[in-house]
Structure 1
Amino acid sequence: MEENFIKIQKSLYPLSFLYGLGVSLRNKMFDWGILRSKSYDIPVICIGNITVGGTGKTPHTEYLIKLLKKEFKVAVLSRGYKRKSKGFVLATPISSANEIGDEPYQIKQKFPEIAVSVDKDRCHGIETLCDNKKESELGVILLDDAFQHRYVNPGMSILLVDFNRQICDDALLPAGRLREPLSGKNRANIVIVTKCPRLMKPMDFRIITKRLDLYPYQQLYFTSYKYGNLTPIFSGSNIRKRSLAQIEKNENILLLTGIASPKQLLQDLERYSSHITPLTFADHHDFTENDLKTLKETFDNLSGEKKIIITTEKDAARLTQFTNLDETIQKNIFALPIEVKFLLNQEDAFNQNIIEYVRKNKRNSKLSERENAY
């Protein structure tokens, strides 16, 4: 298998043990019915993970949107991490990343026809969406990053696992990046191993399948990334989209990221250029004026006449808030769209599984609640 990006802080194992006791107790309280989950009469699909960030939730959510919006009215409900607003917010065409968060903003910009909303309280968010007269024909709700939000009992749970950071090798916070014990995977209906190499070895499929040790009721899929055309993030320029294949070998790339796991993206871009300078910030980083100065200085210091800045769509959502960004930067910065590609010819089986669930669980006339069956 390829290089594993897992780093465990063994000195923090005692704290991880205490953290694990607390998380396990919380899960048991849901299992025993002391804490209760709500179920709804509208199809609810949860997309999440049991690790901290970086498993590809947004690309997989976008895949589901493209799949479902042809037949159903789709809504996405997210927490809206690091947004400046509070409570329930239904995105509009003029909503900003500060108001709804960078990932919901990205989704709304790409799919303006769907309902995108944010609410830390997912139960309140679902009920508000369903009570909204404008969304009376709502067909399905996608819960982004809500696997640990057990007050909602989704009709289908999709758990994402990073190929480069296998949960079987990880540890609980703070020693590792697991949000809950490995047994949490048992709540998933579907497990997707994401960010797989395009030419993944058959042996790797078998090893991962055996190590995950899923139950018969759980389905396992493998996905990789495919990249779209580099897209200018500032309107008004005459710069056109370009494919990665059009990058010249001697062209300098400044890779600007504020995501949880940029290493895979860096490795993928190395196929197109050997001159890559990473400028890395923390996940969901709020860019400042000083950061933009650093960006400008780093770009100016790149050698050669041919140079370009590549960033993610999530980072672009925050960068476009700066209308005073240097003109040179605006003309040379591109967002790299990421799409999901299923391996092992699994796409049709996955699509059918999702569509059949939504069709069989069409919304009734009113909300209903029942205790969590777990």
Structure 2
Amino acid sequence: MKMLRYILFPIVPVYYLVTWLRNKLYDLGIKKSKSYNFPVICVGNLSVGGTGKTPMIEYLISLLKNDHKLATLSRGYKRKTKGFQLANQTSSVETVGDEPFQFYNKFGKDILVAVDSDRQNGIKNLEKENSDVVLLDDAYQHRKVKAGLNILLTTYANPFYRDFVLPTGNLREPKKGVNRANIIVVTKCPENLLDDDKIQIVKRINPNEKQHVFFSSIKYSEEVISINKTVKLKELSSFTLVTGIANSKPLVDFLNEKNLKYQHLNFKDHHEFSKQEIESLKSKELIITTEKDFMRLKQYESLKEKLFYLPIEVVIDNHQKFDNIIKEFVSN
């Protein structure tokens, strides 16, 4: 795969020019963006792959759900439905996608969860539901909507400033796209990241005077959860780890630090499990997976008693400042 990316390097200037020109047309107002008279927050990234958008959306939900009629709006990647869908008790991964289904399972009593590849149409429908704050999931490049607040995520291990545009690198657009962000969060940092390291990263990001830079890390639970019970990690003798996410390394590192014994079945992001793969999983004694993959796998009756997920949450350095910026934005 790496060799193919190097071979495709001559295409990089073409991709760069096309994405740069598209953004320039929006910046100049030739292509139109729609603004809204209520708070719209976009969480996204410059790169393909996992930067931690889902736990960040969940952090924002927890922060705002008690004081607002909050809605999330996602594309609904790999769902089997079309157009606008509002999650309800009959929804599934097939109808709304895995991440929105996860939001609904966790917060469905407190918020609205919607999907629509046309974000303008999605927001219009959420206005009819009287939502007063909308969180846009993975919509940084969806410039037909002009969010009032843009939160850009970039990982500690693979920051945008060390990357190239597709197809040789992972960037969806040129690095200058960072200029649209109001908040930049360096995600998946080591818990003990030194202040000197943070200073050097901020220098490389080179934020303007209106941009805020924060650092976040992933906190894994000490327990795994199934449909009907909870078990402490330290009580597990051995298990099969099943992951279908963009980057499983942080999870694997965490489990290895715990000296846990397991077999790892690693699939691509948003993996759709085949009948053969489900049959193979039926033979496993205990399965630990991510919360997103749990949403896909829990529908199989044969796996319910052996299937658990490991919860995660995002921890933001200087979270009080971060929270205040968000709350101030939605209050104005």
Distance of 2:279 and 2:170 partners within structure 1: 32
Q: Tell me whether 1:44 sits opposite 2:40 in the alignment.
A: yes
Measured after TM superposition, the shift of residue 337 of structure 1 is: 1.1
1:12-56 deviation per Cα after TM superposition (whole angstroms, max 9, x unaligned):
211222111111111111111111000011100000001112011
Displaced runs of 4 or more, over 4 A: none
SS at match of 1:180: coil
Q: Residue 225 of structure 2 contacts residue 231 of structure 2 at CA under 8 Å; is this kept in 1?
A: no
Q: Tell me whether 1:357 sits opposite 2:325 in the alignment.
A: no
1:58-111 deviation per Cα after TM superposition (whole angstroms, max 9, x unaligned):
100000000001211100000000000000001112211100000000000000
* TM-score calculated relative to the size of structure 1: 0.84
1:145-183 deviation per Cα after TM superposition (whole angstroms, max 9, x unaligned):
000000000000000011111111111111121111111
SS at match of 2:136: strand
SS at match of 2:171: coil
Distance of 1:280 and 1:167 partners within structure 2: 25
Q: Tell me whether 1:144 sits opposite 2:137 in the alignment.
A: yes
- Residues 118 and 25 (structure 1 numbering): CA distance in 2 closer, same or farther, change over 3 Å? same
Q: Which has the bigger relative contact order, CA under 8 A and spacing at least 6?
A: 1
Distance of 2:296 and 2:14 partners within structure 1: 36
Specify every segment of 5 or more residues in structure 1 that has no aligned partner in the other structure, as ranges.
Answer: 1-5, 301-307, 361-374
Distance of 2:112 and 2:240 partners within structure 1: 35
Query: What is residue 320 of structure 1 aligned with on the other side?
Result: 298
Tell me the amino acid that sits aligned with residue 228 of structure 1.
S
Distance of 2:183 and 2:45 partners within structure 1: 11
Distance of 1:210 and 1:9 partners within structure 2: 29
Query: What is residue 120 of structure 2 aligned with on the other side?
Result: 123
Measured after TM superposition, the shift of residue 8 of structure 1 is: 9.4
Distance of 1:25 and 1:358 partners within structure 2: 32
Distance of 2:263 and 2:197 partners within structure 1: 31
Distance of 2:70 and 2:312 partners within structure 1: 21
Q: 2:177 aligns with which of 163, 166, 184?
A: 184
Query: What is residue 256 of structure 2 aligned with on the other side?
Result: 270
- Residues 22 and 262 (structure 1 numbering): CA distance in 2 closer, same or farther, change over 3 Å? same
Distance of 2:248 and 2:115 partners within structure 1: 26
Query: What is residue 304 of structure 1 aligned with on the other side?
Result: none
Distance of 1:84 and 1:321 partners within structure 2: 16
Q: 1:334 aligns with which of 308, 311, 314?
A: 308
Distance of 1:210 and 1:58 partners within structure 2: 27
1:119-157 deviation per Cα after TM superposition (whole angstroms, max 9, x unaligned):
000001001110x2xx22x22000000000000000000
Query: What is residue 288 of structure 1 aligned with on the other side?
Result: 274
- Residues 332 and 272 (structure 1 numbering): CA distance in 2 closer, same or farther, change over 3 Å? farther
| Residue pairs, 1:105-120, within 5 angstroms | 105-113=101-109, 114-120=111-117
Specify every segment of 5 or more residues in structure 2 that has no aligned partner in the other structure, as ranges.
Answer: none
Measured after TM superposition, the shift of residue 277 of structure 1 is: 1.9
Query: What is residue 243 of structure 1 aligned with on the other side?
Result: 232
Distance of 2:232 and 2:45 partners within structure 1: 31
Q: Residue 225 of structure 1 contacts residue 340 of structure 1 at CA under 8 Å; is this kept in 2?
A: yes
- Residues 154 and 71 (structure 1 numbering): CA distance in 2 closer, same or farther, change over 3 Å? same
Q: Residue 85 of structure 2 contacts residue 96 of structure 2 at CA under 8 Å; is this kept in 1?
A: yes
SS at match of 2:292: helix
Distance of 1:71 and 1:286 partners within structure 2: 36
1:213-248 deviation per Cα after TM superposition (whole angstroms, max 9, x unaligned):
11111000000111235444344xxxx31233x245
1:181-210 deviation per Cα after TM superposition (whole angstroms, max 9, x unaligned):
111111000000111111112232122111
SS at match of 2:55: helix
Distance of 1:228 and 1:159 partners within structure 2: 25
| Residue pairs, 1:40-79, within 5 angstroms | 40-79=36-75
Larger radius of gyration, structure 1 or 2? 1
Identity %: 45
